[in-house]
């Protein structure tokens, strides 16, 4: 039998634990870069899920290492932008290592005199081959195109890079580093329980989850990356109109499209007054306003994971219910993810090489 998206999600606890054990070796190029001098402005070139993963981890760089992260869509960076000379580190992030736009952007950074660090799970890929240094995501090549395992592995690696930078640049102590590593290990061990709770929640709400014509997720801070990945994953798998918004940005226009068919999903690390106020305002106007929360035991409308944690780590936990939700709602809609559609797309459009 072929490997499914759910098989990949189920491997996350094991693979994330491995990444935590092996990162000092696998991310050795990060140490070498940090030894060359401080990093203040990091440019991450990435598209799709890889861009969303970068958004999940970006604030850890500023909090722990005082690094300003810019995440750029590769194509406009290549074709419309002047290279910012203040950039002192460039990571071209592509899980497959085959996105053509990211390859072109990597070349532009190299032409601007910057060493390109390629972060990928495929060391033989075109991006890896042309890069100046390789950052191995250390999850193997994901056999399913709708990436989940690679997404979570990317977020964890980026958090670990931020941690290494934080320690090297004096932003955090060795004790703080160890506390964070312990929290990450505990998070990884919590994932099987997260999966069980998510399954039960989805089964309970099956009727409304399967019948909505429009899905919207809302997050804040690093959880915007989770909301954006909701958009990417639902669009790829559920194939109904789906969007992810930043909490405050949602209040500037997007709410106006809400109607009685609309399914809203709030993503919270802990009870949040602003997110809660929006949910209560919107609830009478929509089919359902559900919440995924890292904290608490929750109510009928809330999947509560009862695992309070540092908000900077929360995306790594809260992405898992989103991934399972995409897989299960696709199945409820009768979509067979094993059947390829638009099979000639990459051949014709050359977006992946």
Ligand X SMILES: O=P(O)(O)OC[C@H]1O[C@](O)(CO)[C@@H](O)[C@@H]1O
For residues 228-239, one letter each, b for 16 or more C-beta atoms within 10 angstroms of the residue's C-beta and e for the rest, the string is: bbbbbbbbbbbe
Give 144 or 159: the residue with its C-beta nearer to ligand X.
144
Q: Specify the residue, 94 or 242, whose C-beta has the smaller distance to ligand X.
A: 94
Chain centroid to Cα 239, Å, comes to 19
Which one, 53 or 184, has the nearer CB to ligand X? 53
Q: What's the chain's length in residues?
A: 353
Q: Quick one: 147 or 238, whose CB is closer to ligand X? A: 147
DSSP state of 105: H
Please say which residue, 62 or 351, places its beta carbon nearer to ligand X. Answer: 351
Q: Name the residue number minimizing CB distance to ligand X.
A: 48
Which residue lies nearer to ligand X by CB, 77 or 266? 77
Look at residues 171, 79, 78, 80 and name the one whose alpha carbon lies nearest to residue 90: 78
Distance CA 267, CA 245 (A): 10
**DSSP conformation class of 164:** H
Q: Which residues here bind ligand X, judged by CB under 6 A?
A: 47-50, 94-96, 98-99, 102, 145, 147, 232, 351-352
Query: How far does Cα 259 stand from its chain's mean position?
Result: 28
The candidate with the shortest Cα–Cα distance to 4, out of 143, 210, 203, is 143
Q: How far apart are CA 226 and CA 209, in angstroms?
A: 18
Q: Are 153 and 138 in contact (CB under 8 A)?
A: yes
* Closer Cβ to ligand X, 34 or 92, answer by number: 92
How far is it, in rounded angstroms, from Cα 144 to Cα 146?
Answer: 6
> Residue 45 CB: number of other CB atoms within 10 A?
33
Q: Identify the bridge partners of residue 268 per DSSP, sorted by sequence position.
A: 293
Least distance from C-beta 193 to ligand X, angstroms? 28
CB of 164 to ligand X, least distance (A): 22
Give the residue among 47, 73, 13 at the shortest CA–CA distance from 193.
13
What 3-state class would DSSP assign to 134?
strand
Q: Three-state SS for 170? A: coil
Distance of alpha carbon 6 from alpha carbon 244, whole angstroms: 22
Nearer to ligand X, 27 or 103 (CB): 103
């Amino acid at each position: 039998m072929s490997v499914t998206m759910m098989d990949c999600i189920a491997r996350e606890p094991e693979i994330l634990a491995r990444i935590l054990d092996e990162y000092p070796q696998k991310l050795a190029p990060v140490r070498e870069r940090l030894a060359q001098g401080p990093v203040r402005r990091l440019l991450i070139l990435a598209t799709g899920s890889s861009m969303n993963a970068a958004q999940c981890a970006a604030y850890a760089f500023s909090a722990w290492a005082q690094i300003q992260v810019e995440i750029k869509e590769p194509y406009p960076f290549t074709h419309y932008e002047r290279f910012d000379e203040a950039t002192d580190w460039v990571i071209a992030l592509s899980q497959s290592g085959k996105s053509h736009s990211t390859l072109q952007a990597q070349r532009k950074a190299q032409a601007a005199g910057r060493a390109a660090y390629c972060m990928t799970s495929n060391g033989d890929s075109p991006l890896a081959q042309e890069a100046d240094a390789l950052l191995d995501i250390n999850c193997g090549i994901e056999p399913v195109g709708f990436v989940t395992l690679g997404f979570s592995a990317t977020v964890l690696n980026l958090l670990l890079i931020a941690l290494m930078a934080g320690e090297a640049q004096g932003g955090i102590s060795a004790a703080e580093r160890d506390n964070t590593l312990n929290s990450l290990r505990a998070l990884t061990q919590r994932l099987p329980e997260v999966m069980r709770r998510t399954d039960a929640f989805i089964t309970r709400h099956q009727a409304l989850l399967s019948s909505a014509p429009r899905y919207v997720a809302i997050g804040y801070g690093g959880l915007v990356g989770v909301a954006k990945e909701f958009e990417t994953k639902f669009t790829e798998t559920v194939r109904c109109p789906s969007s992810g918004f930043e909490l405050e940005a949602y209040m500037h226009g997007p709410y106006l499209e809400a109607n009685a068919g609309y399914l809203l999903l709030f993503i919270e690390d802990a009870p949040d007054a602003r997110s809660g106020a929006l949910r209560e305002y919107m609830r009478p106007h929509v089919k359902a306003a559900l919440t995924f929360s890292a904290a608490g035991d929750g109510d009928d409308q809330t999947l509560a994971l009862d695992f309070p944690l540092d908000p900077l780590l929360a995306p790594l936990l809260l992405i898992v219910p989103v991934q399972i939700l995409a897989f299960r709602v696709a199945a409820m809609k009768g979509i067979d993810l094993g059947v390829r559609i638009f099979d000639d797309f990459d051949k014709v459009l050359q977006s992946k090489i």
